[in-house]
Amino acid sequence: IDTGVSEELLAEGRRAYELDREHVFHSWQAQGPFKPMTIVKTEGSFVWDGEGRKLIDLSSQLVNTNIGHQHPKVVEAIQEQAAQICTIAPQHVNAARSEAARLIAERTPGDLNHIFFTNGGADAVEHAVRMARLHTGRQKVLSAYRSYHGGTQLAVNITGDPRRFDSDYSSEGVVHFMPAYTYRSYFGSETPEQETERALRHLEDMITLEGPRNIAALILESVPGTAGIYAPPPGYLEGVRELTAKYGIVYIADEVMAGFGRTGTWFAVENFNVTPDLMTFAKGVNSGYVPLGGVAISDAIFETFRDRVYQGGLTYSGHPLASAAAVATINAMEDEGMVANAQRLGRDIIGPRLQEMKAKHPSIGDVRGLGCFWAIELVKNAETKEPMAAYGGSSPEMNELVGAIKAAGVLPFANFNRIHVVPALNISDELLIQALDVIDEALTITDGYVTA
Ligand code: PMP
């Protein structure tokens, strides 16, 4: 194979693998059997594995590198910032952070004008909840099943997927509700309109039964990502906004994955014309080049802390390297029209092609998404919707499918019975089509496991 990478780089990769297995403790894994993939080089929409094989990155590294890898403008901005000021304590003003805050506040909807910076998504969620509790003087937090909000203690408790089971003993005050999810409706809905109406009725019941005067916040991914990119049916988020306003509950939109152009708008809430009270972000804010996250805060919640001390902070809040990367990322996205491009790719290429695949592959149960944020849900039986892998687990069928996609040169994001199509917003049409061809071809594998 034409590896395109030097023998030295490959040797370094082999050594890194040995050291990794000896000393690195990995996230979300049984450490023994785990066989991680080595990456020795990245560029644009490509990554090179430990054998020097070039793969199209359709995962964006946990839906993170919205502008692709090694964008020269961002790499240069980080280098320039490093030469000037690498780090400074958060109580001091730094130019990169001030500019990043301005660029973010100008793009967030409504009056989300104040930015609290964190190191990533989970701590943004932790701080948003704390702010909501202090603002309302209430304690409970409502969050959806089939959601992901982060791996720290409160964030993993709030998360509505099986990963919280090992650590939700401290989930005092966290109450889960059933989200609107038309394909596997908990309410027996047959249409999106029915699902919206029933899911909102359920939510209002939950609020009433839990006691509105005890509920500080409701947190919801605007388009749930890790849990399956199931965009809310028409009217659902508007309804959530109305209910939270009616009961004085702080509405936290978690846009850690869906934000910064992923859905074809700067923030996913714009697709549904709602403005939350708090909005968490991370990942796409600087394409993950340097760890950064944050909370965008409304004017009203900001007022709570005008004279009251906010008892919370992080040494790296608004870190200069991360902030400089955010400034360069947002400017590059703007200059290169990436948000509009994401919308076009979803509308003209990904959406139509996945629908076409659904018509032809019996193992595709559902196709959904928008912008550069899509998922296909694989089933053994279209009638019963029996998933190709159980919720929260893997299966030999899914492993075989993912193996074949990788062997054909595409790195997918796979979760349970789903393949997510989440490329960089600036992937070329040609590469995207090539990657979709690979998935199309590989799906004959799961078709073979369909029990009619
Ligand atoms: N919220 C959402 C919606 C996410 O997708 C994630 C990460 N996948 C997080 C929070 C947690 O972010 P982090 O891993 O940066 O802590």
* Whole-number pLDDT of residue 172: 81
DSSP assignment, residue 110?
Answer: T
Cα-Cα-Cα-Cα dihedral sign, residues 79, 85, 91, 97: negative
- According to the model, what pLDDT value does residue 2 have? 54
**220 plus 346 within the same structural domain:** no
Is 2 contained in some domain?
no
Give yes or no: residues 95 and 218 share one domain: yes
Distance 136 CA to ligand 1 centre (A): 25
For residue 134, the CA-to-ligand 1 centroid distance in Å is: 23
Confidence (pLDDT) at 192: 98
Residue 82 domain-assigned (yes or no)? yes
Return the ligand 1 atom nearest residue 258 CA: 3
Partners of residue 411 on adjacent β-strands: 57
Question: Do residues 105 and 182 share a domain?
Answer: yes
- Token pair, residue 244, equals 């939270």
Does 1 fall in a domain? no
CA distances from 274 to 224, 252, 354, 411, 428 (A): 16, 11, 28, 34, 31
- Which amino acid is located at 447 in the chain? D
The DSSP code sequence of 147-211 is ----SSHHHHHH--SGGGTTTGGG-TTEEEEPPP-GGG-TT--SSHHHHHHHHHHHHHHHHHHH-
* 156 shares a domain with 56: no
- In sequence order, the β-bridge partners of residue 117 are 294
Q: For atom 12 of ligand 1, which residue has the closest CA? A: 121
Same domain, 359 and 379: yes
**pLDDT one-digit tens code per residue, 377-397:** 999 999 999 999 998 889 999
Give the amino acid at 65: T
pLDDT of residue 289: 98
Residue 432, in any domain of the structure: yes
Q: Are 264 and 346 in contact (CB under 8 A)?
A: yes
Helix (H) or strand (E) holding 406: helix 396-407
Instruction: Report pLDDT for 145.
Output: 96
160 lines ligand 1 (CB under 6 A): no
| pLDDT tens digits, 170-190 | 778 999 999 999 999 999 999
Report CA-CA distances (Å) from 173 to 48, 85, 168, 201, 405.
Answer: 45, 42, 11, 22, 42
Which of 335, 355, 390 is a domain's end point? 335
280 Cα: distance to centroid of ligand 1 (angstroms): 9
pLDDT digits (tens, 9 = 90+) for 349-362: 999 999 999 999 99
Q: Examine residue 183 and state whether it is found in any structural domain, yes or no.
A: yes
Strand pairing category for 215-221 and 140-144? parallel
Instruction: Report how many domains make up the chain.
Output: 2
Q: Is 100 helix (H, G, I), strand (E, B) or coil?
A: helix
Dihedral angle sign, alpha carbons of residues 254, 260, 262, 263: positive
Of 335, 368, 394, the one marking the end of a domain is 335
CA distance linking residue 417 with residue 435, whole number of Å = 19
**Cα Rg for the chain, rounded, in angstroms?**
22
Decide whether any atom of ligand 1 lies within 6 Å of the 125 Cβ: yes
CA of 333 to the centre of ligand 1 (A): 21
Q: Which of 118, 147, 163, 283 to mutate to test the pocket of ligand 1 (most atoms within 8 A of CB)?
A: 283
Mark whether 136 and 233 lie in a shared domain.
yes
What CATH number does the domain containing 211 carry?
3.40.640.10
Query: Cβ(257) to ligand 1 under 6 A?
Result: yes
- Among positive and negative, which fits the CA dihedral 407, 411, 414, 420? negative
Q: If you average pLDDT over every residue of the chain, what do you get?
A: 96
Secondary structure class of 98 (helix, strand, coil): helix
Is residue 50 domain-shared with residue 76, that is, in the same domain? no
345 and 321 in a common domain: no
Domain that holds residue 246: 72-335
Question: Is residue 33 domain-shared with residue 100, that is, in the same domain?
Answer: no
For residue 288, report the distance from its CA to the centre of ligand 1, in Å: 12
Same domain, 135 and 179: yes
- The answer to whether the CB of 226 is under 6 A from ligand 1 is yes
Atom index in ligand 1 nearest the CA of residue 224 equals 3
Q: Given pLDDT bands bounded at 50, 70 and 90, which one contains residue 425? A: very high
Helices (H) and strands (E) counted in the chain, each on its own, are 14, 16
Note whether 354 and 307 are same-domain residues. no
| Tens digit of each residue's pLDDT (9 = 90 or more) over 225-275 | 999 999 999 999 999 999 999 999 999 999 999 999 999 999 999 999 999
Q: Are residues 78 and 215 in the same domain?
A: yes
* String of DSSP letters for 208-277: HHH-GGGEEEEEEESS-TTTT--PPPTTHHHHHHHHHHHTT-EEEEE-TTTTTTTTSSSSGGGGGT---S
Centre of ligand 1 from the C-alpha of residue 366, in Å: 24
Spatial separation of the C-alpha atoms in residues 112 and 298, rounded to whole Å: 4
**Which residue's entry shows tokens 């020795």?**
40
ipTM of the complex: 0.99
- pLDDT for the residue numbered 164: 85
Atom nearest to 282 CA in ligand 1 = 15
Q: What is the DSSP string of 14-81?
A: HHHHHHHHHHPPPTTS-TTT--PPPEEEEEBTEEEETT--EEEESSHHHHT-TT-BS-HHHHHHHHHH
166 part of a folded domain: yes
Give the model confidence (pLDDT) of 15-66 as tens digits. Answer: 999 999 999 999 999 999 999 999 999 999 999 999 999 999 999 999 999 9
- Return the SS3 of 330: helix
Q: Assess whether pLDDT exceeds 80 at residue 168.
A: no
The residue from 303, 335, 367 where one domain ends is 335
pLDDT at residue 165, rounded to an integer: 86
- Max CA distance (Å), the chain: 65
Has residue 241 been placed in a domain? yes
CATH number, domain at 365?
3.90.1150.10
The structure's pTM equals 0.97
Residue nearest to atom 5 of ligand 1 (CA): 257
